[in-house]
Every structure is written in C-alpha cells, then in structure tokens.
DNA sequence: TTATTAAATAAGAATGATTACGATTTAGAT
DNA sequence: ATCTAAATCGTAATCATTCTTATTTAATAA
C-alpha cells in the first residue's frame, strides 16, 4: 500500500471522507522529500483545482498533521509541511536552506537533560539545524 | 554601568543616535527576564509615546538584535525578544509556556553532531524546550 | 548658539500569510 | 435515490509585519 492510500485509509477509519482535494494534497507531498511552505501547496492545488479555497488547503494541512501523515514546522515565519519520515521513532532534521531537502538526525538532545530540568515539566521541544547540504554547499 | 547605558553606549560607538524611544525600549526589556512578543513592546511604548509608530518599534527591535543587545526567537508565529542573557557563551533556553520565564540551558546539541554532518555546511540551529516551570507546573 | 545633515521617527498604506464564515456541494451511509 | 454530516467554495476579515514619504531630531561643526 502506498503512502497516499495508507493516509486515506487512516483518515477513513477516523470518519473523514475521501476527497479529490485531499488525495491531491498527499500526492503533491509524495513528490517532495522536504518541507514545503503552505502557499506552495496552495499554488500547486490551484493548478489542478482552479477554484480551490485557502481554507480547504490549510484545513487539510492541519488535519493531516494531527493525523501524523505530515510533520509541520515553522521556517522564516511560514508554516511548512512534509510527509512524515518513514522512521517511526522520534527524530530531528537538518534542513538545507537552499534546496530545502532534509537529513534525518536520530540524536535527540533531550535525553541528557533530565537532570538539568528537574522540577520543570517538559511539553515539547524544537531542534533543527539549518545550512547547506552537500549538493548545495 | 547598567544594561541600558551599556547598550546605548554600544550603539553610539556604531554611530547610532540616542533617542527617547530607544531608551524606553531597553527599559521595558530590563523589566522582564523573558521573551516578550513585539506587539507587547509596541503596546507598552504606546503608553509612553501615544504616537509611536510600528516602524520605530520593529526597526529598533531588529537593530538591537543585530547589536546583540537582544536575543530573538519566533514563538507561535510571532517574533519575541529578550535582553541577552548575561552569559557570553552560546546557550539555549527552556521557555515556560505559561509565564514565559526562561531557564538557561548551557548544553548545546551541536557538539556531538560533527560526525553525522560531515559534508554538510551548518549555518545555524535552533534548540528550544517548552513546558511549565516549577512555579507554573 | 546656530546651522547643517544624516539618522530616526510618524503616519498610514500595503503586503502576505492565515483564519473565519455563510452558502453550497459532495461523499458515504441508509 | 435520499439523507445528512462533512467538506468545500468564495470571499471577507484579521493580524503581524514591512514599506514609503514627509517631517522631526540628535549630534556635529561653524
């Protein structure tokens, strides 16, 4: 089963409907192995559905993020999304500031910080590395 | 010499002028030991200078960041600023999502990643921990 | 002290991403 | 084929931020 079908199946189980728009959004992401800004998805959607609304695109991006089909991050003030990495365990990314491609970072800095943060209730954390990948550097 | 005077002195050396607005911005930050959203600074400025413009506030926030008087970060899509921590060496923060107060994290996760990132040119990184501090938790 | 001028500010328009919302359409169940 | 909740469309609204131009001001030198 491919990424798209798996995602749609997952949505169906939660009672969400299968729509052309949703299918297309997932297809678009499947063509990228990187974070893509919401507005770029909107643009590509408009090529296929000239009258698609912002609302549809944004709503689905957030839905797909909640369902863990996508991962989200904020880069330069814009929300970006990408297909969840195949890996099932927690991870981070190096993000190329030129081409946008990412490299998986398996190491999580939270591991060694339990001691330091005694008394603090950790809810979340963000660790991202930015720079040029070997192709762009 | 206090924080404000030190900052103004530093600006003067670079040829920037001392203005009431700049003085006040620094004073506002000195009253907080935490990240403050730009719009909150704008609001406090308007109490003292009813006709201050967005431009003045934003321009100065960026100037002060470049001059390392302030540190900047983006939280929930909004730019936040705080006085630079006293410490001169590179550091990170735990940020309380309730009160906004921060805890200095001396550990930097980049140290152990040189190996992993061979061939990659690292330009920047972001590591922040979010949660509740002991007072708010 | 006054004149000079480059820097800084005010005022408000413009931008750009995102969110909101009422009306309409559609997917999926019966 | 009918029904209904979910999804979408179309568009307006919001909100932070950036830009622009005219005016004011701080610092310098006469």
Judged by average pLDDT, the poorest of A28-37, A48-57, B1-10 is B1-10
Model confidence band, residue A89 (pLDDT cutoffs 50, 70, 90): confident
| Distance in Å, residue B33 CA to nucleotide D4 C1' | 54
| pLDDT value of residue B136 | 93
Check CB contact under 8 Å for B128 and A123. no
Read off the pLDDT of residues B87-137 as tens digits, 9 standing for 90 and up. Answer: 778 999 999 998 989 999 999 999 889 999 999 999 999 999 999 999 998
Backbone angles phi, psi at B26, to 5 degrees: -65, -40
Strand D close to A58 by CB, under 7 A? no
- The rounded mean pLDDT for chain A is 94
The total number of residues shown for chain B amounts to 137
Examine the pLDDT at B66 and tell me if it is beyond 90. yes
B73: Cα within 13 Å, side-chain hemisphere: 22
Read off the pLDDT of residues B6-33 as tens digits, 9 standing for 90 and up. Answer: 999 999 999 999 999 999 999 999 999 8
Q: Which nucleotides of C are covered by protein (CB under 7 A)?
A: 7-13, 16-22, 26-28
CATH class of A3-83: mainly alpha
CA–CA gap between residue A128 and residue B27 (Å, rounded): 32
CATH class of A92-131: alpha beta
Distance from CA of B105 to the nearest CA of A (A): 8
The minimal CB distance from B122 to the residues A126, A127, A131 is found for: A131
Cβ-based contacts under 8 A for chains A and B:
95
> If 0-12 CB within 10 Å is exposed, 13-18 middle and 19+ buried, where does residue A55 land?
exposed
| pLDDT value of residue A48 | 94
Binding site for Fe cation: residue ranges of B? Answer: 90, 111, 125
Nearest to A25 by CA among A72, A91, A78, A69: A69
Distance from CA of A40 to the nearest CA of B (A): 18
| Distance in Å, residue A116 CA to nucleotide C15 C1' | 44
Nearest to B26 by CA among B106, B94, B102, B81: B81
Examine the pLDDT at A106 and tell me if it is beyond 90. yes
**Are the C-beta atoms of residues A102 and A131 closer than 8 Å to each other?**
no
Closest Cα in chain B to A80: B77
| pLDDT value of residue A3 | 87
Check CB contact under 8 Å for B120 and A126. no
**Tokens 């983006």 correspond to what residue?**
B74
Domain ranges of chain A: 3-83, 92-131
| pLDDT value of residue A85 | 87
């Amino acid at each position: 089963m491919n990424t798209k079908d798996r995602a749609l199946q997952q949505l169906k189980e939660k009672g969400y409907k299968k729509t052309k728009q949703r299918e297309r959004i997932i297809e678009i992401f499947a063509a990228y192995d990187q974070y893509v800004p919401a507005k770029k998805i909107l643009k590509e959607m408009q090529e296929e559905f000239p009258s698609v609304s912002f609302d549809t695109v944004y709503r689905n991006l957030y839905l797909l993020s909640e369902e863990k089909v996508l991962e989200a991050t904020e880069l330069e003030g814009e929300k970006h999304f990408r297909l969840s990495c195949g890996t099932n365990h927690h991870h981070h990314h190096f993000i190329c500031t030129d081409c946008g491609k990412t490299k998986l970072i398996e190491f999580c800095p939270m591991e060694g910080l339990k001691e330091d943060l005694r008394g603090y209730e950790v809810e979340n954390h963000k660790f991202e590395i930015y720079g040029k990948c070997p192709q762009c550097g």
